[in-house]
Chain A
Amino acid sequence: DAKTTQPPSMDCAEGRAANLPCNHSTISGNEYVYWYRQIHSQGPQYIIHGLKNNETNEMASLIITEDRKSSTLILPHATLRDTAVYYCIVMPGNTPLVFGKGTRLSVIA
């Protein structure tokens, strides 16, 4: 019953931009796109979220397509500490978040 589709794993060279895709073709108008990441043996960490517009904060940028059926999380200059599992979540507001399997990003020196 997953609402999102993410590649199971990706590699990225240190210092390069990491672009993590997420497909959510059945997204509804009131559903947000959230991104979290989980470093091994730690709790997940909030990265960013968006509804319709592209968003940027100190950690990352979120690009949402105009039809909202897919999005991309961009880490502009990946470091080894960005190695983690990245979760893309689509949920309505005021609803507990349901995590899928995510994308395991490996940043390589």
Chain B
Amino acid sequence: SQTIHQWPATLVQPVGSPLSLECTVEGTSNPNLYWYRQAAGRGLQLLFYSVGIGQISSEVPQNLSASRPQDRQFILSSKKLLLSDSGFYLCAWSVLTQDYEKLFFGSGTQLSVL
């Protein structure tokens, strides 16, 4: 069966510090991978998605970046965190079956930038 691992579960970082969140998927090949963010009291915002190694699409220009160094690994990074980067970060994967998408989400990382 497929599983998705996302860590850490919680993170407190000072403003201006770097960030690296990692997500890995097991039990499937060539998944589509996604990073979403949910600010306090708001909906989910799509940040990045990837359909293959090295292929990254950015939905919202900001000081975050994403990389996919391996087929089942997706990394979210920042060189210098801002207060506005605080939120609940979720990684998700999907495999296109037929022509619809079914997303499976990780357990999320609660990031607090102070």
Chain A interface residues toward B at CB < 8 A: 32, 34, 36, 38, 41-46, 49, 51, 91, 93-102
Contacts and interface: CB of A to CB of B under 8 A. Distances in A.
Q: Give the secondary structure class of A's interface.
A: loop
Nearest to B110: A41
28 contacts: A32-B100, A38-B44, A41-B88, A41-B108, A41-B110, A42-B105, A42-B108, A43-B90, A43-B92, A43-B108, A45-B105, A46-B102, A49-B100, A51-B100, A91-B101, A93-B98, A93-B99, A93-B100, A93-B101, A94-B96, A95-B101, A96-B32, A96-B49, A96-B101, A97-B101, A99-B43, A99-B46, A100-B43
Contacts of A98: 46
A96 B46 contact: yes
Interface string B13-56: 00000000000000000001010100000111010010000000
B46 A42 contact: no
Interface residues on B, range: 20 to 34
B107 A42 contact: yes
Contacts, number: 54
B43 A102 contact: yes
A45 B101 CA distance: 13
A50 to B, nearest CB: 9
A43 B106 contact: yes
A97 B101 CA distance: 8
The 9 closest A-B CB pairs, nearest first, are A43-B105, A93-B99, A99-B44, A96-B49, A101-B43, A93-B100, A43-B90, A32-B100, A99-B43
Contacts of A32: 100
A36 B103 contact: yes
Given A43-B106, A94-B101, 10 more contacts: A38-B44, A42-B107, A42-B108, A51-B100, A93-B100, A94-B99, A96-B59, A97-B46, A99-B36, A101-B42
Nearest to B59: A96
B7 interface: no
